[in-house]
Amino acid sequence: MYFPKYRLRRLRRTENLRRLVRETRLVVDDLIYPLFVVPGRSVRTPVPSMPGVFQLSVDELAKEAVETKALGIPAVLLFGIPEAKDDVGSGAYHPDGIVQRAVREVKEKVRDLLVITDVCLCEYTSHGHCGLLKGGEVDNDATLELLARTALSQAQAGADVTAPSDMMDGRVAAIRETLDRNGFSHLPIMAYAAKYASGFYGPFRDAAQSTPQFGDRRSHQLDPANSDEAMREIRLDIEEGADIVMVKPALAYLDVIARARMEFDLPLAAYSVSGEYAMIKAAAARGWLEEERITMEVLVAIKRAGADMIITYSAKDAARVLNG
């Protein structure tokens, strides 16, 4: 096993050798593309901190979905920015809310594209918090019913998978119960199980206009220092009925992804979040990093760590590379 008999460089000499011994393969099947829908028609507003990402009106979103499908990407993840916000986030669960309209349009215009919908109240509340407020704090149990209503109304609009990102305790069980009672026992839940209180969400909050008006999300999202607790979150979500569990963000939490892969056998998603995307774009714009190379390297790293699927704003760029 030792030099000079063994030389590990032998198998790295040519690209064909490297192809044969490559351990991790990123494929288009792994990708999920997030999209932001806003009110109006023919709206395509660039998000300044996320070059290449737009806030899209329903008609424009449908076009984007067609393109996503044409690239072979299996799924989109929808986020909505409503006409109006209020303190109970009613735009989230309105039968004719922005995401509900977007889902109906995509389902009508694009065949065989999986539509996943994000379930959270933060884009819909005037205060920007993920649930109902009581005495300046997010009221966990009162919020559950609204999250379940949101998931149900998105399912009724035609969503294929529901993805709660709020981090309230008990929300997977509440959503599962409501879906089952209303004829949606077949609908999978992709739970943002280990979601950290991360500075990497900064650009997303511009895109989704969901920055809390006061305080932060540390009372419900995980402390970046913890990984035992992340395993407890994942375990609980599985017990409550999650079909797919997620670690988020991805790049700064590869150890959490790897650990979740070892400890659980459910399909595992990783969310490469807005700040991860923005860092690459910003450095590339200055000529400091090679954009395509770094983008693909990061995605393969997330897969190597153990993710089965990756939510990424680079999905279309990566698909173009992977499709050759």
State how beta strands 114-119 and 133-134 pair: unpaired
- Residue 119's nearest CA partner among 77, 73, 157, 82 is 77
d(CA 17, CA 282): 34
- Residue 175's nearest CA partner among 143, 215, 211 is 143
| Smallest separation, CB 201 to ligand PBG (Å) | 4
127 or 217, CB closer to ligand PBG? 217
Which residues are CB-contacts of 72 (< 8 A; sequence separation ≥ 6)? 28, 29, 319, 323
26 or 81, CB closer to ligand PBG? 81
| Smallest separation, CB 277 to ligand PBG (Å) | 7
| Smallest separation, CB 79 to ligand PBG (Å) | 7
245 or 273, CB closer to ligand PBG? 273
DSSP state of 14: S
Q: Are 45 and 36 in contact (CB under 8 A)?
A: no
Residues that bind ligand PBG (CB under 6 A): 118, 120, 122, 165, 201, 204-205, 210, 217, 273-274
178 or 198, CB closer to ligand PBG? 198
| Smallest separation, CB 49 to ligand PBG (Å) | 10
Q: Which residues are catalytic?
A: 195, 248
Q: How many residues does the chain have?
A: 324
Q: Are 276 and 250 in contact (CB under 8 A)?
A: yes
Residue 59 DSSP SS3: helix
Joined together, the tokens standing for residue 103 give 């889902």
Is the dihedral angle over the CA atoms 65, 71, 73, 79 positive or is it negative? negative
Helix axes 291-305 and 254-263, enclosed angle (nearest 10): 30
* Residue facing ligand PBG at closest CB distance: 204
| Smallest separation, CB 19 to ligand PBG (Å) | 32
Side chain identity at residue 55, one-letter code? Q
164 or 188, CB closer to ligand PBG? 164
120 or 302, CB closer to ligand PBG? 120
130 or 305, CB closer to ligand PBG? 130
Encode 125-166 in three state secondary structure.
Answer: ECCCCCCCEECCEECHHHHHHHHHHHHHHHHHHCCCEEEECC
Q: Are 24 and 303 in contact (CB under 8 A)?
A: yes
| Smallest separation, CB 124 to ligand PBG (Å) | 9
d(CA 184, CA 154): 11
| Smallest separation, CB 296 to ligand PBG (Å) | 19
